[in-house]
Amino acid sequence: MPGLKTLSGGTADISADTADALGASLRGDVYAAGSPEYDAARTLWNAMNDRRPGLVARAFGASDVQKVVDFARDHDLLLAIRSGGHQIAGHAVADGGLLLDLSQMRSVRVDAARRTVRVEPGATLGDIDRETEPHGLTVPTGINSTTGIAGLTLGGGFGWLTRKFGMTIDNLLSADVVTADGRLLTASATENPDLFWAIRGGGGNFGVITSFEFRLHPVGPEVLSGLIVHPLDAAEALLPAFARIADDAPDELTIWSVLRLAPPLPFLPEAWHGKPVLVFAVCYCGDLAVGEAALAELRGLGTPVAEAIGPTPLTGWQTAFDPLLTPGVRNYWKSHDFDSLPEEAISALVAAVTDLPDPASEIFVAHIGGQMARVPASETAFPSRSAHFIVNVHTRWEDPAKDDICIGWARDLFDRLSPYAIGSAYVNFMPADETARVPGIYLQNMERLSRVKAIYDPGNLFRVNHNIAPAT
């Protein structure tokens, strides 16, 4: 068996017998290159991340996770943790290292009486929705049903219900965490509260989550949701109005903008397919009649090309963008946070859409605030609590020969937007090449994160991520 990469930059010779002994101790197993399980574990949503671990250890429970963490620490191995495998940076797999695969840990258990749900780290947002929907309950999560709950939560988690119920981390009640020394700890407001603070936004730096406990909320069963499509030519006039309406909206209403070439939507006239457009995506999660009134001003803007808004099951709306985010395609994202959308930033966004490097690429402008903004910035590791806009430059393509032009387009737009941004960013939207940016995005919380890291992972075993170094 080839040597595995170590934390010190060398290699460790792990014999087949040693690997077999680890596998025999697990409910799961250990897999080397050549097995179907190995390839399934290393294959991620973002096709740009084609990495080959030295060994895969598949876990079926917390005890398995403890044994694999102990094995990695005792042999000084570079360790990557894969749960949903959906992160843009591809940190779930490291070339030549040991991969801890949590993808089969997908249990979701609802306690409807307590309005809580217990979720294992391999579950997707769709897995959770399928279990909570029959009870008329939901966890505030993201916008794509194939996203993994672990990565989403550890980075903060925002979506259609954030304004009403807060971020995903604001609804996390507790988590079971295997730390670098192999202990299984509970992190909550009353148990290991410093660890609980850090995992709510600090990423996978502090341990391996084996179970999340979330608060549930009654929603629906239907929300008022859909799309309003405008010509891109109207964007410079309409985006300032969008920003104002979004800032003033009731908590139940979320409005986001997408700038792209129009996909072949069934309600959109065929003549507009492939043309540059501005799309308002909306979701109202309260009383539907009140929602109609809340949407009136937005619907009255300009002269839309098409509109499709109506009552929709929440779980249906949560899958609406899945066809645009299928796995196996190359993706490179760049992201900024903005307090407002100044005229110069809007002009840069619109100009970039006239020069898209691929028809699948887009620019996504999310507005968050409401309940999420009422949480003090020091209460969780996630730092950007004021109502603000998150701009994600979402470059997406299939042909590897287009890598340079697509990545260059995203970086150029990112640079042009930088003078108007506030410095923080949503860590789940950051690519792997932004390591130098990590201290800045956590703002005032970075120093405390480093201190907590030094307590729970002083040797930086959990470093294959947007890494927070332990304080010295």
Per-residue pLDDT of the chain (472 residues; tens, 9 = 90+): 668 999 999 999 999 999 999 999 999 999 999 999 999 999 999 999 999 999 999 999 999 999 999 999 999 999 999 999 999 999 999 999 999 999 999 999 999 999 999 999 999 999 999 999 999 999 999 999 999 999 999 999 999 999 999 999 999 999 999 999 999 999 999 999 999 999 999 999 999 999 999 999 999 889 999 999 999 999 999 999 999 999 999 999 999 999 999 999 999 999 999 999 999 999 999 999 999 999 999 999 999 999 999 999 999 999 999 998 899 999 999 999 999 999 999 999 999 999 999 999 999 999 999 999 999 999 999 999 999 999 999 999 999 999 999 999 999 999 999 999 999 999 999 999 999 999 989 999 999 999 999 999 999 999 999 999 999 8
Pairing of strands 217-218, 184-188: unpaired
Domains in the chain: boundaries: 4-101, 108-218, 222-435
Q: Is the bond leading into 431 cis (omega within 30 degrees of zero)?
A: no
Cβ–Cβ contacts within 10 Å for residue 429, how many?
Answer: 22
What CA–CA distances, in Å, run from 444 to 76, 327, 439, 452, 466?
32, 35, 9, 14, 17
What CA–CA distances, in Å, run from 142 to 81, 125, 146, 428, 444?
21, 8, 10, 11, 25
What CA–CA distances, in Å, run from 306 to 266, 274, 309?
10, 14, 10
Write the DSSP string, 41-92: HH--SBTT-----SEEEE-SSHHHHHHHHHHHHHTTB-EEEESS---TT-TT
Question: What's the confidence (pLDDT) of residue 324?
Answer: 87
Q: Compute the Cα dihedral for 129, 135, 136, 140 and give only its sign.
A: negative
Q: Which of 63, 60, 61, 94 is nearest to 79 (CA)?
A: 94
Pairing of strands 208-215, 108-111: unpaired
Whether the model clears a pTM of 0.75, i.e. scores above it, the answer is: yes
What CA–CA distances, in Å, run from 112 to 117, 121, 170, 186?
8, 20, 19, 22
| Cβ atoms 30, 22 nearer than 8 A | yes
Structure tokens at 362: 């887009």
Fold equal for 4-101 and 108-218: no
Q: What burial class does residue 36 get, using C-beta atoms within 10 Å of its C-beta: 0-12 exposed, 13-18 middle, 19+ buried?
A: exposed
* Helices 16-25 & 62-74 angle (0-180, nearest 10): 150
Distance CA(55)–CA(6), nearest Å, equals 13
CA 181 remoteness from chain centre: 27
Question: What's the confidence (pLDDT) of residue 366?
Answer: 97
CATH number belonging to domain 108-218: 3.30.465.10
CATH number belonging to domain 4-101: 3.30.43.10
What phi and psi, each to the nearest 5 degrees, are found at residue 39? -65, -35
CA 45 remoteness from chain centre: 12
Distance CA(243)–CA(223), nearest Å, equals 22
Angle, vertex CA 297, rays to CA 244 and CA 270, nearest 5: 105
Question: What's the confidence (pLDDT) of residue 221?
Answer: 87
Structure tokens at 46: 């973002």
Q: Compute the Cα dihedral for 331, 336, 340, 346 and give only its sign.
A: negative
Distance CA(413)–CA(244), nearest Å, equals 23
Bridge partners for 172 per DSSP: 214
Distance CA(157)–CA(83), nearest Å, equals 15
Question: What's the confidence (pLDDT) of residue 242?
Answer: 97
CATH number among 3.30.750.24, 1.10.10.1100, 3.40.462.20, 3.40.1390.10, domain 222-435: 3.40.462.20
Instruction: Give the number of C-alpha atoms closer than 13 A to the C-alpha of residue 77, restricted to the C-beta side.
Output: 29
Q: Which of 185, 251, 265 is nearest to 456 (CA)?
A: 185
| Cβ atoms 276, 374 nearer than 8 A | no
